[in-house]
Amino acid sequence: MACPERIGTDILMAQPTRTGGGHVFSIRESQIQAAAFRRAPGQPSCSMFPLFDVSTVQAAQTRLAVGLQRFEEYEKVSCGRSPDSNVSLDSAVRCEQEHLLRFREISRQRNQTEADSPLWTLDSTSMSLEKTDALVIRLADWSESSRVVTLFTRDFGKISALAKGAKRLRSSFEAALDLLSESRIVFLRKSSSSLDILTESQLISRFQPSAKSLISLYGGYYVAELLSGLCEPEDPHPRLYEAARQTLRRLESETDARSVILRFELVLLREIGHLPDFDACLVCGAPVSGGRQFAFWVSQGGLICTTCQRPDLEQTQINAGSIAWLRTFLDDDPAVARHVVASEDQLSQLRHITTAAVTHVLERRPSTLRYLNFD
Which amino acid belongs to residue 339? H
Q: What is this structure's pTM?
A: 0.65
The model's pLDDT over 96-123, given as tens digits with 9 standing for 90+, comes to: 667 667 767 776 666 555 444 443 334 4
Beta carbons within 8 Å of 293's beta carbon, 6+ residues apart = 305, 306, 317, 318, 319, 320
Domain ranges of the chain: 3-120, 125-206, 272-371
Confidence of residue 193 (pLDDT cuts 50, 70, 90): confident
Strands (E) located in the chain: 3-7, 10-19, 22-26, 127-141, 147-153, 157-163, 182-190, 196-205, 277-281, 293-297, 302-305, 315-319
314 confidence band (pLDDT: 50, 70, 90): low
Cβ distance 272 to 230 under 8 Å? yes
- Length in residues, the chain: 375
Q: Which residue has the higher pLDDT, 270 or 104?
A: 270
Measure CA 271 to chain center. 21
Q: Which of 10-14, 240-244, 303-307 has the lowest mean pLDDT?
A: 10-14
Q: Identify the pLDDT of residue 116.
A: 44
Q: Burial-class residue 241 by CB neighbours within 10 Å (0-12, 13-18, 19+).
A: buried
**What pLDDT score does 321 carry?**
79
Q: For the ranges 84-88, 106-110, 118-122, 198-202, which has the lowest average pLDDT?
A: 118-122
Mean pLDDT of 151-161: 96
Inter-CA distances, 356 with 243, 314, 316, Å? 21, 10, 9
CA angle 108, 113, 115 (to 5 degrees): 90
pLDDT band at 55 (very low <50, low <70, confident <90, very high): low
For the stretch 326-345, pLDDT in tens is: 887 777 666 666 777 777 88
Residue 296 has pLDDT above 70, yes or no: yes
For domain 125-206, give the fold: OB fold (Dihydrolipoamide Acetyltransferase, E2P) (2.40.50)
